[in-house]
Amino acid sequence: MGAEVVIEGLTKSFGNQAIWRDVTLTLPPGEVSVMLGPSGTGKSVFLKSMIGLLKPDRGRCVVNGVDIVTCSESKLYETRKLFGVLFQDGALFGSMNLFDNVAFPLREHTRKSEAEIKRIVLEKLELTGLQGAERKLPGEISGGMRKRAGLARALVLDPEIILCDEPDSGLDPVRTAYLSQLLIDLNAQIDATILIVTHNINLARTVPDNLGMLFRRELVMFGPREVLLTSDEPVVAQFVNGRRRGPIGMSEEKDAAQMAQEEAHAASGHSDGSSEDDLRGIVPQLEPTPGLPERAAVRRRKDRVMSILRSLPPAAQEGIIDSLTAEDRARYGVGVLAGVRPSPHPRGVDEVATLPKSTWDRP
Ligand SMILES: Nc1ncnc2c1ncn2[C@@H]1O[C@H](COP(=O)(O)OP(=O)(O)OP(=O)(O)O)[C@@H](O)[C@H]1O
């Protein structure tokens, strides 16, 4: 099972530009989490801070008892080996073929024989659907294949934690759907903890166990997917529906005058081009491709979420209860009659989830 990542009070600025502050969340072991956020909110900076490529001003990021923020260089080097990172552009070496690109971390960080390296590289290329492409150069393949090659390379050291920076960027919706499926299949096969940062709503609705959002230099929320997907927070509603009306503006946030003007335009019948349909709501989560093992994280997550159910907002509770199977209902003692609430054993919410706490939508 993948490692847990505990982040507490993480704060980052560049000079006097605050990027985000007091980010607190836990990535539950082996679960898939997605961090949403408008462009420029510091999602990539967040990933880089998690692996010690950037140094936060304060806070902790603890993996297997090691705080990435304050540990020694040698501990950082060791702990980094637990991470596999898929960078936004795949970050492949243009002059190396896919085989050598994927083999690179093994040649750099291990003393494995070339025969062993070949076995591992071919296994990871197959896992990411790239068998037969090992002699191609990155410039000779499509963006989707480059992403998958980047993922194959992220997997060669058998990471416990996989970080994906906008795996969908530059991909069409169909390729993004394939990549989403690949991430779920991968999780089923290796049970790694996965964090994906993206602005892709479809991916965010269908892939993760947990969903969070960064906006206005803070973590708006982070917790079970059902919380964000049923949230009434204006910034979430705007982002999920891709609307211009709402607190997010072209350069991240709007002032009150602009918001009022847009409301007036809408009231006078001016369309902002978005669909009237509200895309919020819980849709079924992707399952592993038939024939693959079940995701071990699913049962662990259900136990975890049921243990904090009562601390979640009512709409999220309802969605979670609706998604339970008859077997789950028996396991958790959930009544079959409408309106009957389960009686799990609530734990402190801080244990696993940070729920909406921001004040940005209040005057
Ligand atoms: N090394 C750096 N030095 C100074 N500023 C930086 C550095 N890296 C990032 N920034 C700034 O931090 C802010 C957040 O950048 P980041 O790339 O993390 O945003 P993002 O949410 O990933 O955006 P996008 O979704 O567009 O990729 C930006 O204003 C960026 O200019």
What phi, psi does 38 have (nearest 5°)? Answer: -60, 160
Residue nearest to atom 14 of ligand 1 (CA): 42
**Distance in Å, CA 20 to ligand 1 centroid:** 11
Averaged pLDDT for residues 315-337: 85
- First-to-last alpha carbon distance for the chain, in angstroms, is 44
pLDDT tens per residue, range 37-52: 888 889 999 999 999 9
Averaged pLDDT for residues 68-82: 92
**Distance in Å, CA 22 to ligand 1 centroid:** 17
State yes or no: pLDDT of 187 exceeds 90: yes
Residue nearest to atom 6 of ligand 1 (CA): 14
Question: Is residue 42 lining ligand 1, measured as CB closer than 6 Å?
Answer: yes
Mean pLDDT score of the chain: 84
**Distance in Å, CA 298 to ligand 1 centroid:** 33
Tokens of 231: 């949230």
State yes or no: pLDDT of 59 exceeds 90: yes
CA atoms of 45 and 62, how far apart (whole Å): 17
Question: Residue 273: its pLDDT value, please?
Answer: 65
State yes or no: pLDDT of 126 exceeds 80: yes
Question: Is residue 39 lining ligand 1, measured as CB closer than 6 Å?
Answer: yes
State yes or no: pLDDT of 198 exceeds 70: yes
State yes or no: pLDDT of 169 exceeds 90: no
Question: Is residue 12 lining ligand 1, measured as CB closer than 6 Å?
Answer: no
State yes or no: pLDDT of 331 exceeds 60: yes
Question: Residue 355: its pLDDT value, please?
Answer: 37
Residue nearest to atom 16 of ligand 1 (CA): 42
Question: Residue 38: its pLDDT value, please?
Answer: 84
pLDDT confidence tier of residue 270, bands split at 50, 70 and 90: low
Question: Residue 276: its pLDDT value, please?
Answer: 64
State yes or no: pLDDT of 107 exceeds 50: yes
State yes or no: pLDDT of 79 exceeds 80: yes
- Ligand 1 binding pocket mutation candidate from 13, 19, 239 (most atoms within 8 A of CB): 19
Residue nearest to atom 27 of ligand 1 (CA): 39
What are the sequence ranges of the domains in the chain? 5-228, 296-351
On whether the CB atoms of residues 138 and 94 are closer than 8 A, the answer is yes
On whether the CB atoms of residues 124 and 158 are closer than 8 A, the answer is no
**Distance in Å, CA 47 to ligand 1 centroid:** 11
Question: Residue 112: its pLDDT value, please?
Answer: 92
**Distance in Å, CA 68 to ligand 1 centroid:** 20
On whether the CB atoms of residues 211 and 223 are closer than 8 A, the answer is yes
State yes or no: pLDDT of 34 exceeds 70: yes
Residue nearest to atom 2 of ligand 1 (CA): 14
Question: Residue 360: its pLDDT value, please?
Answer: 33
On whether the CB atoms of residues 228 and 196 are closer than 8 A, the answer is no
The share of the chain scoring above pLDDT 70, in percent, equals: 84
Question: Residue 206: its pLDDT value, please?
Answer: 93
Least confident of 28-32, 61-65, 109-113, 242-246: 242-246
What ipTM does the predicted assembly reach? 0.96
**Distance in Å, CA 19 to ligand 1 centroid:** 8
Question: Is residue 19 lining ligand 1, measured as CB closer than 6 Å?
Answer: yes
Question: Is residue 44 lining ligand 1, measured as CB closer than 6 Å?
Answer: yes
**Distance in Å, CA 268 to ligand 1 centroid:** 37
Averaged pLDDT for residues 249-265: 67
State yes or no: pLDDT of 337 exceeds 50: no
pLDDT confidence tier of residue 275, bands split at 50, 70 and 90: low
Burial class (CB in 10 A: 0-12, 13-18, 19+), 50: buried
CA angle at 96 for the pair 92 and 98, rounded to the nearest 5°: 70
**Distance in Å, CA 42 to ligand 1 centroid:** 5
CA atoms of 5 and 351, how far apart (whole Å): 12
On whether the CB atoms of residues 254 and 203 are closer than 8 A, the answer is no
Question: Residue 298: its pLDDT value, please?
Answer: 94
Tell me the CATH number for domain 5-228: 3.40.50.300
Sheet of strand 58-63, all strands in order from the earlier edge strand to the far edge: 17-27, 5-14, 58-63, 66-67
